[in-house]
Amino acid sequence: MLKHDKLCQNIVKYSERWYNLDKIDIIRYLLGVSIIVKDYRDLEYSKFERLQQKYVKELFNILPDGVVLVDENNIVIDANPKFLEMFKYEKGELIGQPLDMMISNDINFDEADSLTSMVKNNQLVKRDSKRCTKFKELLDVFITAMPLTLDNQVVGGIGIYKDITAKERADFLANRDPLTGIYNRRYAEKEINRLEKEDKYPISFILGDINDLKLVNDTLGIEEGNRVLKRTVEIMDDVLAKKGIISRWSGDEFLIILEDIDEYYAQNIMKQLREAFKKGKYNDEYPLNLAFGYATVTGNNRSIRESLSEADTRMNRQKLLESHQFKGASMEFLKRIMPEKGAETLEHTDRMKEICRLFGQALDLSESVMDELLLLASLHDIGKISVSEKILIKKGSLTEEEWEEIKKHPEAGYRMVKSSQELSTISEGVLYHHERYDGKGYPSGIKGKEIPLLARVIAIVDAFEVMTRGRPYKGPVSKEEALDELMRCAGTQFDPELVKLFINEINQHN
């Protein structure tokens, strides 16, 4: 009686300390009891024996891994709910059936049979393997199999099956960039830490940075930006051909880790990448521009982290040296997509630039300021890309809601050009080109000379060009009528001094 009382106390103790104990010890203990239950199931149990069986069964049922009990012939005696869930069987389908036949297939049956033989020979087995469900779906499992002995004889066995499919999937996702599928920074940092400990050289690093990704995001949307990232990874994969580890280091930066690659080969790989990206496009029109930097660690008193810093420095230096090339590409890209989006026509842009050039000469603008004015003429309405095409091409008056959406385009355009280093000089002109001289404009309501000069110039040129060109909801007017309207609005909508100069210049050049 005291023996059974002690046993019950131990079961309760194990149940309370489950997460602090080794599962193998618990299962050994539980199945020692289960054998007693099996061999003497028809006997009359005492009060303590029934209590003992109750606790064993409850623990068996709540174990987080699949557990199956077999006899000496590997015939299933019992299986817990987790095992049934994993392998998608009803208990009645399993009991009395050979375990290996139920959860193995032709490919892994011999391996499963070998494991069973080891258990019969009183061996404890631990291994990763694959088993299949009732519906022949393969599961990655970690198997712990152990013999059950009675009087020093193996009378059965127990198998504990941990589903590692989900774990591996979780580990995969934890180390991968969800958008591109390549490794993320977390994994790259782990690899760097490993390389620092292993002290094996040479190791080369290549850093790549996508130029103007934010510009694409702001003008065409996040989806287009995502396509840029995916296309970037495709090109890198083609060039590297599994030679190194590609990781997404930050939003628009990639780190390539090249083990056992010296400086000569690292430079060659970087050259191949540059050539590939010159040819590569993400939408058959807009070229992909990346700046690259590299560094190689040979173990000569320079750490991996110092080399990474050097690669970053070289990459940023290249960005600066080639910025003029990116400026041209960005401008052409933006000018091309504006008519595609219904924002403006190429004819409107060309006429704006022609008029601005005349006006700028009359204002005696410097060459650099003239360049900014012509750029502003091309991109002042870039923010309209964010406006619905239905509104932009609507024939008829706009509703109040539609007008409010239109009024958001200067701020949208400001964000777009501000995100690009080479376009940021025209950001204020884009933001303020719909302000009025009397302070009743938008988006900020500034007035007079508070409005930047180029914004005041563009406001006049744009109004003249629109009036003489016409709108979707209104036909064009003559040059004289347009100039009269400018004069009428001088001092309220437009800078009066600039209006007079503009009228004079237009009349001179017809």
Q: Give the residue extent of every domain in the chain.
A: 2-168, 176-321, 328-509
The vertex-441 CA angle with 488 and 351, nearest 5°, equals: 65
Q: Determine the topology of domain 2-168 in CATH.
A: Beta-Lactamase (3.30.450)
Residues whose CB falls within 8 Å of the CB of residue 129, separated by 6 or more in sequence, listed in order: 108, 111, 112, 115, 140, 141, 142, 143
Q: Are strands 183-184 and 245-248 parallel, antiparallel or unpaired?
A: parallel
Cα–Cα separations (whole angstroms), residue 160 to 26, 30, 63, 271: 12, 13, 10, 53
Residues whose CB falls within 8 Å of the CB of residue 220, separated by 6 or more in sequence, listed in order: 337, 385
Tokens 């099996």 belong to residue: 38
- pLDDT value, residue 206: 95
Provide the token pair at 82: 């987790």
* Residue from 296, 322, 318 nearest 244 by CA: 296
- pLDDT value, residue 25: 46
- pLDDT value, residue 205: 95
- pLDDT value, residue 346: 66
Tokens 């933006």 belong to residue: 334
- pLDDT value, residue 392: 76
> pTM higher than 0.75 for the full model?
no
Provide the token pair at 281: 């496009």
Per residue of the chain (510 residues), what is the pLDDT tens digit?
334 444 344 433 433 333 333 444 444 444 444 444 444 444 444 665 666 667 677 778 888 899 999 999 999 999 999 999 999 999 999 999 999 999 998 888 999 999 999 999 988 888 889 999 999 999 989 899 999 888 888 999 999 999 887 777 777 788 989 888 899 999 999 999 999 888 888 999 999 998 878 777 776 778 888 888 988 998 998 899 878 899 999 989 999 999 999 999 999 999 999 888 888 766 555 667 788 999 999 877 778 999 999 999 888 877 765 654 545 555 555 555 555 554 456 677 788 889 999 999 999 998 889 989 998 988 888 888 778 777 877 777 788 888 888 899 999 889 888 876 667 889 999 999 999 999 999 999 999 999 999 999 999 999 999 899 876 667 789 999 999 999 999 999 999 999 999 999 999 886
Provide the token pair at 159: 């198998």
**What is the residue-wise DSSP string for 62-109?**
H-SSEEEEEETT-BEEEE-HHHHHHHT--HHHHTTSBHHHHH--TTTH
Q: Is 505 helix (H, G, I), strand (E, B) or coil?
A: helix
- pLDDT value, residue 333: 58
Q: Is 144 helix (H, G, I), strand (E, B) or coil?
A: strand
Tokens 């959860």 belong to residue: 103
Residues whose CB falls within 8 Å of the CB of residue 158, separated by 6 or more in sequence, listed in order: 27, 31, 67, 68, 69, 70, 145, 146, 148
Q: Beta partners for 490? A: 494
CATH superfamily of 176-321: Reverse transcriptase/Diguanylate cyclase domain (3.30.70.270)
* Residue from 441, 443, 390 nearest 414 by CA: 443
Residues whose CB falls within 8 Å of the CB of residue 390, separated by 6 or more in sequence, listed in order: none
Cα–Cα separations (whole angstroms), residue 510 to 490, 497, 503, 506, 507: 21, 20, 10, 6, 5
Provide the token pair at 343: 């924002």
Indicate the class that CATH gives domain 328-509: mainly alpha
**Is the torsion defined by CA of 139, 145, 150, 156 positive or negative?**
positive
- pLDDT value, residue 126: 86
- pLDDT value, residue 132: 94
